Amino acid sequence: MNILVFGGVGQLGQCIQKIAEQKSIQGFIYLDEKQGNILDTDLLKSLFQEFQPAYVINCAAYTAVDKAEDEVDLARKVNKEGAANLAKFCDEFDATLIHISTDFVFEGNVPQLLTETDEAVPVGIYGLTKLEGEEEIAKLTDKYFTLRTSWLYSEFANNFVKTMIRLGKERTELGVIVDQVGSPTYAVDLASVILHIIETKSTAYGLYHYSNEGVTSWYDFAVAIFELAGLSTHVKPLKTTEYPTKARRPAFSVMDKAKIKADLSITIPHWRESLKQCIKAIELL
Domain positions in the chain are 3-157+187-212+255-268
pTM: 0.98
Distances (CA, A) of 282 to 155, 170, 183, 184: 5, 17, 20, 17
Say what the pLDDT of residue 218 is.
98
Per the CB < 8 A criterion, the answer to whether 57 and 4 are in contact is yes
Q: How far apart are CA 104 and CA 126, in angstroms?
A: 7
DSSP 151: S
Say what the pLDDT of residue 29 is.
98
Per the CB < 8 A criterion, the answer to whether 176 and 167 are in contact is no
Say what the pLDDT of residue 285 is.
85
Q: How far apart are CA 206 and CA 144, in angstroms?
A: 6
Q: Tell me the one-letter amino acid at 122.
A: P
Say what the pLDDT of residue 247 is.
97
Per-residue pLDDT of the chain (285 residues; tens, 9 = 90+): 999 999 999 999 999 999 999 999 999 999 999 999 999 999 999 999 999 999 999 999 999 999 999 999 999 999 999 999 999 999 999 999 999 999 999 999 999 999 999 999 999 999 999 999 999 999 999 999 999 999 999 999 999 999 999 999 999 999 999 999 999 999 999 999 999 999 999 999 999 999 999 999 999 999 999 999 999 999 999 999 999 999 999 999 999 999 999 999 999 999 999 999 999 999 998
Say what the pLDDT of residue 49 is.
98
Task: Write out the catalytic residue numbers.
Answer: 126
Q: How far apart are CA 276 and CA 264, in angstroms?
A: 25
Overall fold of domain 3-157+187-212+255-268: Rossmann fold (3.40.50)
For residue 234, list its beta bridge partners. Answer: 173
For residue 207, list its beta bridge partners. Answer: 146
Please list, in sequence order, all residues whose beta carbon lies within 8 angstroms of the beta carbon of residue 91, skipping any fewer than 6 positions away: 140, 141, 142, 143
Say what the pLDDT of residue 114 is.
98
